[in-house]
Amino acid sequence: MIQRAARDLVRSRHALALTGAGISTESGIPDFRGPGGIWTKNPEAEKKAYQAYARFQADPKQYWEERLSQPSLLGSLESLKPNPGHLALAELEKMNILKCTITQNIDNLHRQAGSQNLLEYHGNAFRLRCSSCHSRYDPGEYDLKRLRQEGKLPPACKECGAPVKSDVVHFGEGIPADVAEQSLEQASLCDLMLICGTSAVVYPFALLPRVARERQDARRHRAVTIIEVNAEPTPLTFENISDYLLQGKTGEILPRILEEVKKLRRE
């Protein structure tokens, strides 16, 4: 199956990767609701996460006061490094085989690995985003501590002046229009989709493999090859949305696919 995936990738013209939490667990990122999960250990954090967007809409200043007075999520993410799965996808992009990666993860690990053509569907915990025009900023572009001391929170967008928030898409917040549109465009363009570490059941992200699956070529055959790399079978497997499943850890399987691709390129 590794060889089959490598052959399919080499033959593709527009390969797209979709990734989820499963690709980052091997970097040490805990889940949210498991036995040692972030919210299992801190139920109050879960409650605040569900309320974050409503708080921002009601009072952007108070939203930032709370963010700056509490331990940051970044503290637990900053020490983490990309694992071989992230690095393999970045290498496939450098080889011009993988055209784009769309991730549900907010951990910045794809960027650290070197992925350039990246759409962060649920945002990036290390960036800020304008609530109106969706301009993105590095936190270092704002002296948040000084703004707080001077009573000038929330930070204002440098393009349109609207309040800036975390780039993370909060519960109840829509996917930024630019990311949503580009993601659908990629799903409509690809002839191969590599789904790594996600069951793709949370909407609207779940639309992407389904949009690709519905496409047909001129002979009414499937126009897209969909490959799953997941620890267990998923609804994508059972609903025949994926063509085949490579079952196991993404950090082990993706590097093996990469090596096979390199062999085929040398032949």
Q: Rounded CA gap, 210 and 204, in Å?
A: 11
Phi, psi values for residue 211, rounded to 5°: -60, -45
Report the Cα–Cα distance between both ends of the chain, in Å, rounded: 19
Instruction: For residue 84, say if its preceding peptide bond is cis, omega within 30 degrees of 0.
Output: no
Q: Rounded CA gap, 192 and 187, in Å?
A: 9
Is 241 within 8 Å of 72 (Cβ atoms)?
A: no
Identify the helix (H) or strand (E) that includes residue 193. Answer: strand 192-196
**Bridge partners (DSSP) listed for residue 102:** 18, 119
**Bridge partners (DSSP) listed for residue 228:** 195, 245
134 is known as an active-site residue: no
Among the listed residues 122, 134, 170, 221, the single catalytic one is: 122
Q: Is 220 strand, coil or helix?
A: coil
What is Dmax (Cα atoms) for the chain? Answer: 66
Q: Rounded CA gap, 237 and 39, in Å?
A: 29
Amino acid occupying residue 251: G
Token reading at 30: 């805990």
Is 124 within 8 Å of 108 (Cβ atoms)?
A: yes
Residues belonging to the active site: 122
